[in-house]
Structure 1
C-alpha cells in the first residue's frame, strides 16, 4: 500500500475513533528513519493541539517526556502520543503516559520489526540492571513478553507499508446525559457521597476507588467547590502536588478567586505535624501513600475521603484495599466504599486501555486461591528467562507482589523479565501461587571492588546488601561472598496467619545452601511486627539507617542470616550494632519508636545497684524523692531490668531515659496532661513492679 494511502486510512480511522469515543492504538514496525518521516506526515494530516513524545526524534512542538514526569502526567491530556521504541522502551513511562491520550487520539508506537526488536538490548532499562550487566548489550525478555501479550490485543499493526492487523471496532457507547459540571452519573453519585461525609456522622470515612480516567479526582474538586460555597475549609493531600492538580483545577474552575484559599494542598508529612482543623480532608492517590501514614491521617481527622487508582504506576490500589481497608473496618466500622467503573475520557471498550491493562498485567484477579492445609505443596524457582514459557505464573506472582507492597510498579514487572540476577521462589498448591519471594542475587565482588566500596570510592548498582556490608558495616571481605537478598515476600492476603511466610523462608534457606550462598539478607522499613517476623525466621538485625522515611517515619533495617558462613560473624555484627544504637538513640534516631528501641538496642553491662541506691529509688516510688535526684539511678535500674517490665512502663522509660524525649513528647506518648502526672505515673508503676 502506498504511504499516502496508508496515512489517509489512519486519518480516517482516527476520525472513526473520535466518533466512537475511543483511542486508536497503532504499532508500526520498520526502519527508524522511514517511520519518523511517516510520522511527520501523519501528524500534519490528523492535526493536534498537544503532542506527547517518548524517545528520540521529537519535533519542536512536542512535549518530550522523561522518566521523571510520571506524577506530572496525572490528569494531563494529549491528542497524540508517539513512542519511539528505537531509543528504548521505558515501561513505567509507557504505562503512565497512556492514560493521557484523549478519546479520538492516536497512540503510536514506532519499533523495529518484532523478531528483531525482541532480540535487541533495551537501554531504557539501565536502572533495572545490576553491576556488571551492561544495558547496551544485555538482551532481556520484557519486550518479547510484551509482544506475546500484544498478539491477543486489539490494535492496528503495520509492517513497513502494509497493515497486517486492523482494529476490531467496538460498538458505540450508549448516550447518557448528566447535568454540568458532572461527566457521568457515577461521578455525580461520588460527589453526593463526599458531601455526606461532611454532613453525616463523624468517623465515617469514604473510600473511592477507580481505574484511571473515571473522574474520581475531578469529583473531589467538584465536591470541594460546593462545600466552599458554604464556607467550609478543606485540605487536600496526595503523594505529590502534581497528583492533586486535577482536583485543584476543577475546584478553581468552579469557584471565585476569593474562595480558592478554601481548598489548600498540604503535603501529608507536614499535615501530620500541624494543628490544622478542617471540615474535610481529601486524600488523592491514596494507594501511593504508605499505610502507616494513612492510619495516622485517619486518627488525626474525623471527616476524610480517600480516593485511589486501582493499579498502575501511582501505587498498587489492590494492596491499599486489602491492607488499609481492614484497618478502616477495625477503627471506623461505618466507613463507606464507592467504586467508579464508567470511563469518562473514553468509552468502556477502549482498545488502548485494554492493551495497557493486559500488556503490563494491571488487571487484578477476582478469584482467591484455595488452600488445603494437609495437601502437598510445591516450591517453584523462577528466573527471568523462565517467564516467557509460564506467563500465567508470572501474572500470579506479579499480582501477589502488588498486593503485598504499596510501591510495586510496572518497572518491577520489567525487572522480573529483564534482570538476570533476580529470581522468584514460590510456594504453590493446585497450580496456584500461595506465597512468593523476590530475591536479588548479589555479592561476589572482586576484592579490589569491595575495597573501593569500603573506602567510599565506588557504588555498585543492584548490590544493596554487599554494599552495606562493605561500607556501613566495614566488612569488605563479606561483599566478595555469594549473597542473596530477600527484596519482598508476599503471602496471599486470604491465606495469611497460617505460617506460609515462615515456611517459604525455610525453603529459601535450603535453596541458598544448595547454591553455596554465604549469607541471606533483607532490608525493609522497620516495624515491631516485621522485626519479630524476620527474627523468628532466624535473621539478625545488623544495621539501622540513620534517616527515617519522610512518608512513614520508618527507619530502614538490614537483617542478616548465615547460610554457609560462620554464624559467629552475624552475632558479632549484631552485638556491635545494638551497642552502638544504644549510644546513638538521642542523636540519630529521634523518630524511632520506643518499642523498636527496646527490641534493638542493648545498654552497657553494669553492676547491680547497691542497697542504698535501691532505697533511694524506693523512696522515689513512694513520692518521697524528686525525680531529678534519682534519674541517674533510674537509668541504671532500667538498663538492668528493661526486658522484664510491662510494655507501657518500659516504653515510657525508654523514651525518657534512652531517647531523651522532651516532656511534651512524653505527655503526647502517654496521654497524660502534665510533667508531674507523668513522673507520678512512673513512680506508681515502679512501686507495682518491685520497688
Structure 2
C-alpha cells in the first residue's frame, strides 16, 4: 500500500509546450527551488548532459522532458533526485508518437538516421506507462530526513574510525536514497573544521554532506587535494565513483597520514559505481592496510517498496541477472545465434538474460548501453543458448568499408570517423590507407 514517503511517477503526453504547462500546473503547490527541470526549453531547464554533475541533490519533484528522446542515463539518474513523497514527471509526445531528434547520436557512417532503431524509446514509453500513476497534484513532500538504525551504525563506525590514532581507510557503498551522504555529514558533526576536508567531483555533489554536517566545512576537488599542501586529518570523498580511479589512487598516496573515507552510489549496474567497487576497492585492499567496508540497504529518502524505484529498475533493467546455470555448461551442448534485435526487445526473458550477463561482466555498462545495444545500426548481438536460456553474450561492431573521401579525412588527420576505431587506427597511426576499405568486426563486449 502506498505511503506518504513513496514517490510517484507521472507521465504527461502531448506537444512540448502542452506538457510543460501541464507540469507547471501540477506542481504549483511546490516551491520553485524544489523542482528540477531537465531537458526541454523551460527557462530553468538543466541540459541532460549536465545531470551527472548534480548527483547527490534532493528535490521535491523532477520534470524530465523526453520529446527529443528519453535518455536512459538521465532517467536512471533523475529518479534518484526525488525525495520521498515527491514525483518524477516525464513528458513525452502524444500517444502513438515517438520522440524525435535523438537518432543522430547513434549514427555512424555509412548509416543514416533512417537506420537507427526505436526499440528502446518504445520500451521506455511502454514500461513507464505501465507504472505511472494519476496526473494529480500531491501533498508537498516532507523534507524531514529520518534516520534508520542501519544509518546510525554507519555513523558510529565512521566516528570510531576517525577517533583512532593511526590513519584508517573506510569505504561506504549504497544504492540511491539510502542516506549515504547524510551519514557522512552526521559523522562529521563535532569534528574540527580545520582538520577536515570534504571532497568530491564538484561542490554540488557533496551538498548533502555539507548540509547534514551542520556547520561550514572546507571543500576541495581531488586534484586540489593531490596537488595542494593542505594536510587534513580527515578526508571524506563523496560520489567517489565519479572521480577517475587513478585520481583516487593518487589521493591515497598523497595523504598517507589521513583518515580517508570514500563513499559512492552503486545504483543497479549504472557503470561507474560497479567500477568503483571492482577496480578501486580491489586496489585499495591490496595496499597493505585494512579497509573497513560499510553499506546501507534500507531506503531513507523514501519508503521501502518505492513505486518509482520499481518503475525505473523495470524500464532500464537495473535488476537484470544472468540466467541461472547449474554445474559446467558444455559448449557442444549450446547453440549459437545472431540475435534479431526486434525479437530480443520483445522477449523480456531473453533481454534480461543477455543484458544481465553483460552487466555482471563489464563494470562500465550503463543504461545508455541498452539503447546502443537495441538500436545502433552498426552493432550486432551474438549469443550461446543452453536449455533455452542465453548463457553467453557477445556484442560486436561492424567497421570499415569506408570510401576514398573518408580515407583522406582520416589519413591527413582532419577528422576521425565515428564508430570505426580499428580502421581509423590503422589508417591514421599505421599509415595503411587501404585498411579503411576492409570489412572489420570488432568485439565490444563478450561475457559468459
Partner of 2:221: 266
Shift of 1:210: 1.1
Aligned residues of 2:322 and 2:356 also touching (Cα < 8 A) = no
Shift of 1:309: 0.9
Which whole-Å CA distance do the structure 1 matches of 2:336 and 2:288 have between them?
39
Matching of residues 195-214 of structure 1 within 5 Å: 195-200=159-164, 202=166, 205-214=169-178
Aligned residues of 1:319 and 1:402 also touching (Cα < 8 A) = no
Partner of 1:350: 306
Aligned residues of 2:354 and 2:391 also touching (Cα < 8 A) = no
Shift of 1:324: 4.6
Which whole-Å CA distance do the structure 2 matches of 1:343 and 1:428 have between them?
37
Higher RCO, 1 or 2 (CA under 8 Å, sep at least 6)?
2
Which whole-Å CA distance do the structure 2 matches of 1:241 and 1:341 have between them?
25
Which whole-Å CA distance do the structure 2 matches of 1:305 and 1:432 have between them?
42
Question: What CA deviation, in whole Å up to 9, does each residue of 1:165-219 have, x standing for no partner?
Answer: xx9xxxxxxx9xxxx9963332222111112222348576332221112121222
The answer as to 2:104 corresponding to 1:126 is yes
Question: What CA deviation, in whole Å up to 9, does each residue of 1:501-547 have, x standing for no partner?
Answer: xxxxxxxxxxxxxxxxxxxxxxxxxxxxxxxxxxxxxxxxxxxxxxx
The answer as to 2:87 corresponding to 1:87 is no
> Unpaired runs of 5+ in structure 1?
1-15, 168-174, 492-691
Give RMSD over aligned pairs.
3.7
Shift of 1:430: 4.8
Partner of 2:151: 187
Partner of 2:350: 393
CA 1:70–1:295 in 2, change beyond 3 Å: closer, same or farther? Answer: same
> Unpaired runs of 5+ in structure 2?
none
Question: What CA deviation, in whole Å up to 9, does each residue of 1:248-296 have, x standing for no partner?
Answer: 3433xx22x5xx34xx4232x5655667644333332233445555555
Partner of 1:679: none
Matching of residues 568-587 of structure 1 within 5 Å: none
Shift of 1:21: 1.5
Matching of residues 149-548 of structure 1 within 5 Å: 149-150=127-128, 153-156=130-133, 183-200=147-164, 202=166, 205-228=169-192, 233-251=195-213, 254-255=214-215, 257=216, 260-261=217-218, 264-267=219-222, 269=223, 271=225, 277-291=231-245, 294=248, 297=251, 301=256, 303-311=259-267, 315-327=271-283, 330-331=286-287, 334-363=290-319, 365=321, 369-372=325-328, 374=330, 376-382=333-339, 384-427=341-384, 429-430=386-387, 434-491=391-448
CA 1:146–1:385 in 2, change beyond 3 Å: closer, same or farther? Answer: same
Aligned residues of 1:71 and 1:314 also touching (Cα < 8 A) = no
Shift of 1:451: 1.7
Matching of residues 598-609 of structure 1 within 5 Å: none
CA 1:218–1:125 in 2, change beyond 3 Å: closer, same or farther? Answer: farther
SS at match of 1:226: coil
Question: What CA deviation, in whole Å up to 9, does each residue of 1:24-57 have, x standing for no partner?
Answer: 2111334555444434443446665433223435
| Alignment partner of 1:67 out of 33, 37, 48 | 48
SS at match of 2:172: strand
Which whole-Å CA distance do the structure 2 matches of 1:387 and 1:418 have between them?
11
Query: Which has the larger displacement, 289-298 or 90-99?
Result: 289-298
CA 1:397–1:274 in 2, change beyond 3 Å: closer, same or farther? Answer: farther
Which whole-Å CA distance do the structure 1 matches of 2:362 and 2:338 have between them?
21
SS at match of 1:116: coil
Aligned residues of 1:103 and 1:345 also touching (Cα < 8 A) = yes
CA 1:435–1:199 in 2, change beyond 3 Å: closer, same or farther? Answer: farther
TM-score, normalised with respect to structure 1:
0.56
TM-score, normalised with respect to structure 2:
0.83
CA 1:315–1:305 in 2, change beyond 3 Å: closer, same or farther? Answer: farther
Aligned residues of 1:98 and 1:107 also touching (Cα < 8 A) = yes
Question: Which structure's residues are more often helix, by fraction?
Answer: 1
CA 1:485–1:367 in 2, change beyond 3 Å: closer, same or farther? Answer: closer
Matching of residues 102-113 of structure 1 within 5 Å: 102-113=83-94
SS at match of 1:227: coil
Which whole-Å CA distance do the structure 2 matches of 1:320 and 1:377 have between them?
34
Which whole-Å CA distance do the structure 2 matches of 1:205 and 1:190 have between them?
14
Partner of 1:498: none
Which whole-Å CA distance do the structure 2 matches of 1:382 and 1:55 have between them?
34
Shift of 1:406: 3.9
CA 1:423–1:200 in 2, change beyond 3 Å: closer, same or farther? Answer: farther
Question: What CA deviation, in whole Å up to 9, does each residue of 1:526-577 have, x standing for no partner?
Answer: xxxxxxxxxxxxxxxxxxxxxxxxxxxxxxxxxxxxxxxxxxxxxxxxxxxx
Aligned residues of 1:142 and 1:417 also touching (Cα < 8 A) = yes
CA 1:67–1:461 in 2, change beyond 3 Å: closer, same or farther? Answer: farther
Aligned residues of 1:357 and 1:363 also touching (Cα < 8 A) = yes
Which whole-Å CA distance do the structure 2 matches of 1:126 and 1:313 have between them?
26
SS at match of 1:415: helix
Which whole-Å CA distance do the structure 2 matches of 1:368 and 1:276 have between them?
51
SS at match of 2:187: helix
Aligned residues of 1:24 and 1:106 also touching (Cα < 8 A) = yes
Aligned residues of 1:416 and 1:422 also touching (Cα < 8 A) = yes
Partner of 1:26: 10
